[in-house]
Amino acid sequence: MLLRKAYRFRIYPDATQEELFRRTIGCSRLVYNLCLDQKILERERSRPRKLSAYDQMKELTALKEECEFLYEVPNHPLQQAIHDLHKAFVNFFEGRASFPTFRKKGQNGSFRYPDSKQVMFEEDRIFLPKAGWTRIVMHRPIVGRHRLRDRGRMVRVGADGAGSDDSGQPRSRRLDRPRKRSGDRFL
């Protein structure tokens, strides 16, 4: 069994960084909803074309020219929102989830930086693109820090702080016996 670790830390942005994070959350939601609407309209056409994630990412530049405020936020979280939408469609067509719905303000208030090379951790701060260095409280050290940078790490920023997902070196853990559920307790 592979064991993945995720680290969750509290960040303390200043007023301008907090405003940037809120704008990024809103712009990611806008891009997600526009792409979902575009995919729904394409499905209803008489001769629909298949829109891939990369087709919609190519159209992101044209959208940025129409809505200039999209230039103020980092590009990678907007592309990640498009990837999330297409992953939701894959899950729907494979029977693992319901049809993707539009995102609303106050729900899923977070965004992710998928490129781990742009994010840097130091002892008491984290570097995020366009936001710069932000204070962070790291209550435990990140294990395998040098491997995280080379493998793949996503940093999620939301209302409750920042988190780092270690999808790098998985460690195996042997379970002697499977857990059995009895009432509300695990045995």
The four Cα atoms 33, 34, 38, 44 give a dihedral, to 10 degrees, of 50
Structural domains in the chain (count)? 1
Q: Please state whether 144 falls in left (phi above 0), alpha (psi between -120 and 50) or beta.
A: left
Residue 127 forms part of a structural domain: yes
Residue 50 forms part of a structural domain: yes
pLDDT at residue 137, as a whole number? 87
β-partners of residue 182 are 185
DSSP 3-state of 108: coil
Cβ atoms of residues 9 and 142 within 8 Å: no
Residue among 166, 165, 160, 164 nearest 11 (CA)? 160
Residue 157 forms part of a structural domain: yes
Residue 178 forms part of a structural domain: no
Tell me the pLDDT tens digit for each residue of 103-114.
998 887 888 888
Given a cut of 70, is residue 15 above it in pLDDT?
A: yes
Residue 176 forms part of a structural domain: no
pLDDT at residue 160, as a whole number? 60
Given a cut of 50, is residue 82 above it in pLDDT?
A: yes
Q: Which domain holds residue 83?
A: 2-170
Separation CA 19–CA 21 (nearest Å): 5
Question: What does the DSSP 8-state code read for residue 149?
Answer: H
| Position 79 confidence tier, pLDDT thresholds 50, 70, 90 | very high
Over range 14-43, report the average pLDDT.
Answer: 93
| Angle (deg, nearest 10), helices 53-66 and 15-44 | 120
Residue 184 forms part of a structural domain: no
Cβ atoms of residues 155 and 24 within 8 Å: no
Residue 180 forms part of a structural domain: no
Please give the helix or strand (H or E) that residue 6 lies within, else none.
strand 2-12
Residue 179 forms part of a structural domain: no
Given a cut of 70, is residue 149 above it in pLDDT?
A: no
